[in-house]
Structure 1
Amino acid sequence: MYSINRSEERTGFQERVPYHPAIDLQTDFVMVYGIDDSMPQRIQEWQQKGYITHLMTGVAWGEYQDYLYGKVDGKNHWEEAQKNRLGDIISHGKDVPYMVPTIAYTDFLTQRIKKAVDAGVEAIHLEEPEFWVEGGYSEAFKREWQIYYKEPWKAPHESADAQYRASKLKAYLYKRCLDRLCGELKEYALVTYGRELRFYVPTHSLINYTQWRIVSPQSQLLDLPTIDGYIAQVWTGTSRTPNVYKGVTKERTFETAYLEYGMMQELARGTDRKIWFLHDPIEDNPSYDWEDYKQNYIKTLTASLFHPNVWHYEISPWPDRIFTKSYPKKDGTGKEKIPASYAATLLILMNTLRDLKQDFIEWDGNQDTIGVFLSDSAMFQRSPLDSSNEEVSQRYDGTKVDMLQTDTAMELLHWSDFYGLTLPFLKAGVPIRPVQLDNIRRFPSYLDPYRTLILSYEYMKPESPDIHLALSQWVQEGGCLIYVGDDSDPYHQAKEWWNQGEKTFTNPAAHLLEVLGIDQQSEQDMHAVGKGVVHLLRKHPKQFAQSAEMAEQLLTAVKRTKEAGKQNDIWEEQNYLLIRRGPYIISAVLDESVSEQVLQLDGLFVDLLDDQLTVHKTINVSPGKQSFVYDLQHQQDSQRFEVIAASSRIEEAEVEQGQFTFLAKGPLHVPGVNRIKCPEEPKKVSIATQPGKYQEADTEWEPDSHTLLLTYDNHPDGVTIQITL
């Protein structure tokens, strides 16, 4: 729990307002948001408080009115705003359209961001490179089509081919924008200041972008050497998007977040790129009460902790809206600011996250992770070809995505094609991970961690045929592949590699079967290929979301495949997930699962979700709930002091002649709470808000755990605590 060198940048947050002691969260870095006249001053203020400073700005949208209205170069650039089929501008707010990333727009962003480089930031975050599926009708996009495809523009809604190719172009344009911008600014920083500048892309998950019908470069960013990493923008606002399981439509925040974070880690797995997982204690929608925010925040937070390869976090966007703003009371009688208990809990968790880099990782129960493939191309086929644009139009108003309440629109939003292949396993306590299909051709050993993989081309397509060569090799070496599909997807007709050239195929699955050596006319469902097995499940993946019987059918099919492949580690179905990361235990009990049994943990634990850091001998977790605890019996040295958890950043800790002294720093108005392991009950505990002026502290000794609970008033400049045995 002790302060880690800020240079590791394990935790940070983004903020648009100037420094204020109430939002001094004591992270390693801060992303100053937005480029305006106040930016250099805001950067300087945070730097003076010891923060590493980055800059964040929107790449697809922002306060770019000077460019739009011709104040930059004398030209009006509104034709570069994204437009839908009806000619409406797709907007993030008044005078804030989503942009087509033309060369001119990219050059404007480059010049604008130079101001941040001049102000001394160490890194730039270009957030949300987004092109809406319903876009593609502006004059700027038509020109880009003509340049890229060497033919006149085609309306995306006219055919599967036009829609698919329009989306591919949208992803390419933002990839080009980022590569050009980052390359030029890296050179500028090195030539002008002799400073290496880093670039990161904060982006929603591929799952969410597909669900919300947005196109973004996603895994294509791996091909850009100018990109240093990412922020996984997963939060309550994305993860509470409803989906369907066993025919029931509802929010499944934990499960969706688990899959989203799992997808995002694929942007960094096998590379040296850094990725931060985002959490948001509020979310963009201001209409919920504090209890709702808290429960959903806990779901997303714990979901992220089931991915132990990631241990960097953006602990909050916009702390100003969390710690200074008011939100509706649960009884509807007005608004209230954040309860002190929730504020303290948040700071406990935010400080604990710096300690999640742990060597000891252990899963409880099922060990064999099943992978479900997902490709960038899933974003390319999200427009129904038999519906009008009005029937599926959507808007993001800064708080949420709204779609028209038609059957087509809701089916798109629920995206049962993907959730039908994932939720049945997750709800049965089986670790399942999204796997980036496109990465097979980027990394030769990418599939090595998996023995069982599920693939469907009914909601995505493979980028190139060589993917099938790698898949075939993986199967022949002993892998179990379940292919799910009924060949009904209209996007099989897009003009792509499988139906072009001298030898053509009706769909990419037909090429896969040929590479695997499987007769396409065979009525047999199970096929031995080398040392492995291929199971052809001739159904559309969305069917497995429609009923309990279909969900069970999918589980049975995968079990059969593993048995045929002589994989003897058939999973044991259970209603929970549990992982140990060093002394930390994270658990989640699933509802809609195999039982309603309560998970009971016995031992000696500190509850990190409790603002009083209460010590328990038993932790009970009910279905639909999650827990995050510190295991006091995990390799503890009983003869040393140890800060177990605190709502403060702990610095300058030292032990001398039975006396433990440290500095605790935290934001103003957030209660200071600290649970400390001691060799024996202290004789004296003192606290000083000024050097040398100590007074007796408020404490409570817990004899069973040999821990001390210490409470005080947080302050950004720190309070000194002295414990004497």
Structure 2
Amino acid sequence: MEKTRSEEKTGFQERVAYHPTFDLRTDFVMVYGIDESMPKRIKEWQDRGYVVHLMTGVAWGEYQDYLYGEVDGRKHWDEAQKNRLGEIIGHGKDVPYMVPTIAFTNYLTERIKVAVDAGVEAIHLEEPEFWVEGGYSEAFKREWQIFYKEAWVPPHESVDAQYRASKLKAFLYTRCLDRLCGELKEYAQVKYQRDLRFYVPTHSLINYTQWRIVSPQSQLLSLPTVDGYIAQVWTGTSRTPNVYNGVRKERTFETAYLEYGVMQELVRGTQRRMWFLHDPIEDNPNYDWDDYRNNYYKIVTASLFHPDVHRYEISPWPNRVFNGSYPKKNGEGKEAIPPDYATSLLILMNTLRDFDQSEIEWVGKMDPIGVLLADSTMFQRNHPDILGEDGSQKYDGTDAEMLKGDKAQELLVWSEFYGLTLPLLKSGIPVRPVQLDNIRRFSSYLDDYQTLILSYEFLKPEAPDIHLGLSQWVQNGGRLLYVGDHSDDYHHVREWWNSNGSSYENPAEHLFEALGLERKLEQGTYPVGKGMVSFLPLNPKECAETQQDAELLKNTVRQLFSSNDWEEKNYLLLKRGPYVISTVMDESMNEEPLKLQGVYVDLFDHNLSIRKEVVVQPGNQLLLYDLEHHPIDQKNCQVIASSSRIEDIVNDGNDIEMFVKGPLGVPGISRLRCVKKPSSIQIKNKEQDSYQDIRFDWDQESQTVLVRYENNHNGLHIKIAFEQTEGE
């Protein structure tokens, strides 16, 4: 196994000091927060062999010294985000969300220099967020005047004012990150002659749109100072209810699948890093362990269906996972994490370092179908009438009360997007969000897709040259379906399609013209070069509300394919090297389970069971290791899965010795594949002088051995001995 952690395949963030109960043996750790204890916390993790990064909030944090004038003699409460009622939008007491002014950016820069001085190798600037309901503080009014060269207009007065306010919000955080990262990279070079990396942990474009938040998202691709992202997708974002077939409910797997998909698009085709976040629990502490576990498996499975990413943040706050207590299922008190769930977590967290696999195989006929999204989806999530005259609400995934009111539920509905995706995904078609804005950034961005779906009823194109790129893609053989009835009020905002001499009623008219078609297109399918364009004059939200319109959408897409290339099923199945990732949809064409036969190790089972026949029921997921994927190694034992990190393996020609580490208190288990049954397995820790025999289970048919022990954060030596046979 690898000794180096330089590839930074897995990591976690933690605000408290090192403790052996959550020494998860990842490649790196993100020490959270800048305070007096930060240098000590950094050194503790460094001493344990971790690559150390720092994470801090860029939109909110413990910035009271700045707010109360202790930094420069001027109070800065005018820079707190405010809603239309003049209320501060906060993340806690004296912790407002900030308008990222130049003064605030300079303050953050000076504050973060302390972390650079402490020797961290990278810095994560978390969640650049501006709430849709914001835009009323004095600082924002000043920024409006500077940016637009006109007097501030209250965002709730018109869709145009709302759209312009949101564009400004995204610009301000782009400017903030560019200045901050650039100055600190120079500081690290000048003072220490070393490279400093910057990453942005951010929710997905899908979640920010649904939760009504504006963030830079793909705009950060224009900043060379940003080295990558963490996709902050977890149960708390993905369990946000959506509508399908008129039913509004949680669809955690499907939402997570789409969220991770659009985050993959932020780095696909670039050299930037992306980590997919998983959370074994979530921010809301009111669920029981069974709920957390079931949703965690959905999240992990959803992330693995996007093979362009193979790095993971395996937990945001492991202390609250491994040392926290949560409600019992019967509601009587709280309980700590069940040992079997803790073991399962460690198995998966260690397995995730092995997903950089070159062999990728979708099972089925269908290639991924892209559904185009743009940053502008975030700009359309507020309407002058949406809140009435007397209220304002935000939702951050932890306020369960908000979901109980009809008005609150309406705020979170985003059926335009889910209407275009869920009818396909529920039919086993690997649909994937695609970043519209990237068409003008990367000339070959669309080359991986043969079929795209687009609607301007909930997003708008940033510039007309996007249509030139789409037209060229279609002419070269692409298949494009446009869905829309042109009813969106935001078609009338002041933008390029209706300004400076242009007189298109909506951006779709310009698209059709760029494709060589009539501006006022009739429903139908049209040949364009080697490709084809289909137009369905329907508001995409209707495809989420009724089964009839969902079927109409699906049938329209089907007409773009030959009958031999179209396949509907109730499951997704992907192979990444020896790993088999599967999910079976509920609410699908039938309720048939998926059945697989072979010789597998069940990676969702804390006992790492051998399974020869696997049955996956609708609504469930499974992750397997296929033991028949490659022949057995005739000289070495192969570690299939373990709840410990295998720090080293030494083979002296007969005995095999492993050095393993794992967090204190979590049961240790490893399944290894060997050419023959071991004669003995012995174990010792650093404090022991001699090895002790331990029990093991040998499975002859799979040629695997299962060994159990107690994890130790300081490490264990495990010696596997084999009897010599004649001729060896």
TM-score of the alignment, normalized to the shorter chain, above 0.5: yes
* Mapped pair 1:714 → 2:711: yes
Partner of 2:726: none
The TM-score, its normalising length taken from structure 1, stands at: 0.98
Give the letter for the 1:710 counterpart. Answer: V
Q: In 2, distance between residues paired with 1:387 and 1:293? A: 33
Give the letter for the 2:497 counterpart. Answer: W
Alignment of structure 1 residues 219-298 onto 2, 5 Å: 219-298=218-297
Q: Could you tell me whether the CA contact under 8 Å between 1:430 and 1:571 is conserved in 2?
A: no
Alignment of structure 1 residues 368-517 onto 2, 5 Å: 368-388=367-387, 393-396=392-395, 399-400=398-399, 403=402, 407=406, 409-517=408-516
Shift in CA distance, 330/10, structure 1 to aligned 2, threshold 3 Å: same
Q: In 2, distance between residues paired with 1:189 and 1:585? A: 43
Give the letter for the 1:597 counterpart. Answer: E
Range that drifts further, 696-705 or 176-185: 696-705
Q: In 2, distance between residues paired with 1:251 and 1:392? A: 26
Give the letter for the 1:195 counterpart. Answer: R
Partner of 1:669: 665
Give the letter for the 2:619 counterpart. Answer: G
Q: Could you tell me whether the CA contact under 8 Å between 1:62 and 1:96 is conserved in 2?
A: yes
Give the letter for the 2:673 counterpart. Answer: K
Partner of 1:703: 700
* Mapped pair 1:650 → 2:646: yes
Q: In 2, distance between residues paired with 1:586 and 1:514? A: 43
Q: Could you tell me whether the CA contact under 8 Å between 1:527 and 1:533 is conserved in 2?
A: yes
Alignment of structure 1 residues 52-451 onto 2, 5 Å: 52-388=51-387, 393-396=392-395, 399-400=398-399, 403=402, 407=406, 409-451=408-450
Q: Could you tell me whether the CA contact under 8 Å between 2:510 and 2:519 is conserved in 1?
A: no
* Mapped pair 1:598 → 2:590: no
Residue 565 of structure 2 aligns to a residue whose secondary structure is coil
Task: For residue 522 of structure 1, report the CA deviation from its aligned partner.
Answer: 4.6
Q: Could you tell me whether the CA contact under 8 Å between 2:133 and 2:394 is conserved in 1?
A: no
Residue 244 of structure 1 aligns to a residue whose secondary structure is strand
Q: In 2, distance between residues paired with 1:117 and 1:390? A: 47
Q: In 1, distance between residues paired with 2:251 and 2:21? A: 33
Residue 569 of structure 2 aligns to a residue whose secondary structure is coil
Q: In 2, distance between residues paired with 1:646 and 1:461? A: 48
Q: In 2, distance between residues paired with 1:250 and 1:358? A: 35
Residue 445 of structure 2 aligns to a residue whose secondary structure is coil
Give the letter for the 1:722 counterpart. Answer: K
The TM-score, its normalising length taken from structure 2, stands at: 0.97
Task: For residue 265 of structure 1, report the CA deviation from its aligned partner.
Answer: 0.5
- Spell out, residue by residue over 1:495-547, the C-alpha distance to the aligned partner (whole angstroms, 9 max, x if none): 00000012321110111111112123453522111111111100100000011
Task: For residue 16 of structure 1, report the CA deviation from its aligned partner.
Answer: 0.2
Give the letter for the 1:327 counterpart. Answer: Y
Q: What is the aligned residue count?
A: 720
Q: In 2, distance between residues paired with 1:401 and 1:553? A: 35
Range that drifts further, 655-664 or 128-137: 655-664
Task: For residue 369 of structure 1, report the CA deviation from its aligned partner.
Answer: 1.2
Q: In 1, distance between residues paired with 2:693 and 2:474? A: 67
Task: For residue 638 of structure 1, report the CA deviation from its aligned partner.
Answer: 4.7
Shift in CA distance, 399/592, structure 1 to aligned 2, threshold 3 Å: same
Q: In 1, distance between residues paired with 2:420 and 2:531? A: 21
* Mapped pair 1:45 → 2:44: yes
Structure 2 residue runs without a partner (length 5+): 723-728
Q: Could you tell me whether the CA contact under 8 Å between 1:646 and 1:674 is conserved in 2?
A: yes
Q: In 2, distance between residues paired with 1:173 and 1:339? A: 45
Q: Could you tell me whether the CA contact under 8 Å between 1:373 and 1:435 is conserved in 2?
A: yes
Give the letter for the 1:648 counterpart. Answer: S
Give the letter for the 1:132 counterpart. Answer: W
Residue 562 of structure 1 aligns to a residue whose secondary structure is coil
Residue 578 of structure 1 aligns to a residue whose secondary structure is strand
Q: In 2, distance between residues paired with 1:360 and 1:495? A: 48
Task: For residue 390 of structure 1, report the CA deviation from its aligned partner.
Answer: 5.9
Q: In 2, distance between residues paired with 1:391 and 1:558? A: 43
Q: Could you tell me whether the CA contact under 8 Å between 1:452 and 1:562 is conserved in 2?
A: no
Q: Could you tell me whether the CA contact under 8 Å between 2:163 and 2:379 is conserved in 1?
A: yes
Q: Could you tell me whether the CA contact under 8 Å between 1:106 and 1:177 is conserved in 2?
A: yes
Give the letter for the 2:657 counterpart. Answer: T
Task: For residue 389 of structure 1, report the CA deviation from its aligned partner.
Answer: 5.2
- Spell out, residue by residue over 1:365-409, the C-alpha distance to the aligned partner (whole angstroms, 9 max, x if none): 133211000000000011122233567732356834764756554
Structure 1 residue runs without a partner (length 5+): none
Partner of 1:573: 568
Q: In 1, distance between residues paired with 2:495 and 2:356? A: 43
Shift in CA distance, 328/522, structure 1 to aligned 2, threshold 3 Å: closer
Q: In 2, distance between residues paired with 1:282 and 1:403? A: 20
Task: For residue 469 of structure 1, report the CA deviation from its aligned partner.
Answer: 0.6
Give the letter for the 1:698 counterpart. Answer: R
Q: Could you tell me whether the CA contact under 8 Å between 1:92 and 1:396 is conserved in 2?
A: no
Task: For residue 571 of structure 1, report the CA deviation from its aligned partner.
Answer: 2.1
Residue 675 of structure 1 aligns to a residue whose secondary structure is strand
Q: In 1, distance between residues paired with 2:628 and 2:396? A: 48
Give the letter for the 2:656 counterpart. Answer: F
- Spell out, residue by residue over 1:428-454, the C-alpha distance to the aligned partner (whole angstroms, 9 max, x if none): 000100000000000000011111110
